[in-house]
């Protein structure tokens, strides 16, 4: 997720304007602010996911080195350790590339919605049409990369049963939405599913990281001859056992928010987005963002 995710939220409200004509300026501003806060929070969580991925591998390698015993650089054991390092490091790089592509994919999604705004307000939409076409192609290419980078299979989604545009959406905007409504639905779903997959991976990493650090930083010092500072040890044990405990829940929550956002996108172009539904989503998103920010 990126800092400009709010543009995506803004355009949903703008599309809703064409469908209902009953939204207020204040609602648009609140919707945009909620989207921006959500972007900041989710981006922060993805940075946490990157840190946990790298730190878990580092702890694994430190543990492997200690259990391997002493070895010389030319020993067979040293060569095996290097191979082990390379294997784990490559896994990290693939995970980091997936997260990087997720952010890139979202940038294209934002750019697409931003161009929709131009398309809706243009008297000569040909240039905007060409730009939308180019961005949509980049978006789909990025989506394909996400599918390829994902360690679990993400199937291409069958078309939604039906998405019927509200009759009050007309002109070039209607033409574009008719052409790509299923594509955008699918691309938002890719982000939703990848966030869920990342949360599952981070959940496993956190457990491994906590176990390895508990041994290295908490248990091992107790077995050494050197004296330890009791208060420092107690503080370190607390930090190790409680670190990153909420990250997984929050990433899953971000995925759930994307599910709701996808539903709002469909409701907006079908003319079914009510003020109550919009305001409920804004409140939920702001609460989520505030929680993440307060614990950074």
pLDDT in tens, 42-87: 778 888 889 999 999 999 999 988 877 666 666 887 888 889 999 9
Q: Are 185 and 266 in contact (CB under 8 A)?
A: yes
Q: Which two tokens stand for residue 214?
A: 């508990």
Residue 22 confidence (pLDDT)? 43
The answer as to whether 52 is a domain residue is yes
Q: What is the number of structural domains in the chain? A: 1
The answer as to whether 241 is a domain residue is yes
For residue 277, give its domain range.
6-294
Residue 88 confidence (pLDDT)? 94
Residues of the chain falling short of pLDDT 50? 1-5, 18-25, 28, 32
The answer as to whether 1 is a domain residue is no
The answer as to whether 257 is a domain residue is yes
Residue 55 confidence (pLDDT)? 94
Residue 70 confidence (pLDDT)? 63
The answer as to whether 28 is a domain residue is yes
Mean pLDDT score of the chain:
79
Backbone torsion region of residue 150, taken as left when φ is above 0, otherwise alpha when ψ lies between -120 and 50, otherwise beta: beta
Residue 232 confidence (pLDDT)? 94
The answer as to whether 126 is a domain residue is yes
Contacts of 30 (CB under 8 A, 6+ apart): 279, 282
Residue 207 confidence (pLDDT)? 93
The answer as to whether 196 is a domain residue is yes
The answer as to whether 47 is a domain residue is yes
Predicted TM-score (pTM) of the model is 0.75
């Amino acid at each position: 997720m990126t800092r400009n995710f709010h543009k995506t939220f803004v355009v949903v409200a703008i599309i809703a304007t064409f469908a209902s004509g009953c939204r207020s300026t204040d609602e648009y501003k609140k919707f945009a602010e909620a989207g921006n806060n959500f972007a900041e929070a989710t981006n922060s969580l993805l940075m946490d996911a990157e840190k946990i991925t790298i730190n878990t591998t580092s702890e694994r390698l430190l543990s492997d080195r200690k259990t391997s015993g002493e070895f010389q650089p030319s020993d067979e054991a040293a060569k095996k350790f290097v191979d082990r390092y390379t294997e784990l490091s490559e896994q990290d790089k693939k995970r980091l590339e997936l997260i990087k592509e997720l952010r890139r994919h979202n940038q294209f999604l934002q750019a697409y919605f931003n161009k929709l705004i131009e398309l809706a307000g243009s008297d000569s939409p040909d240039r905007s049409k060409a730009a939308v076409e180019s961005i949509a192609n980049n978006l789909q290419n990025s989506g394909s990369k996400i599918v390829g980078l994902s360690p679990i299979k993400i199937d291409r989604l069958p078309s939604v049963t039906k998405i019927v545009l509200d009759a009050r959406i007309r002109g070039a905007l209607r033409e574009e939405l008719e052409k790509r409504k299923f594509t955008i639905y699918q691309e938002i779903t890719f982000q939703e599913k990848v966030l869920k997959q990342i949360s599952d991976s981070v959940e496993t990493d956190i457990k491994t990281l906590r176990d390895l650090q508990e041994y290295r930083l908490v248990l091992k010092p107790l077995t050494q001859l050197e004296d330890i500072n009791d208060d420092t040890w107690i503080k370190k044990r607390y930090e190790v056992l409680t670190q990153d405990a909420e990250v997984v829940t929050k990433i899953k929550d971000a995925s759930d928010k994307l599910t709701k956002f996808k539903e709002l996108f469909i409701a907006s172009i079908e003319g079914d987005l009510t003020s109550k539904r919009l305001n409920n989503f804004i409140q939920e998103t702001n609460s989520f963002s505030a929680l993440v920010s307060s614990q950074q």
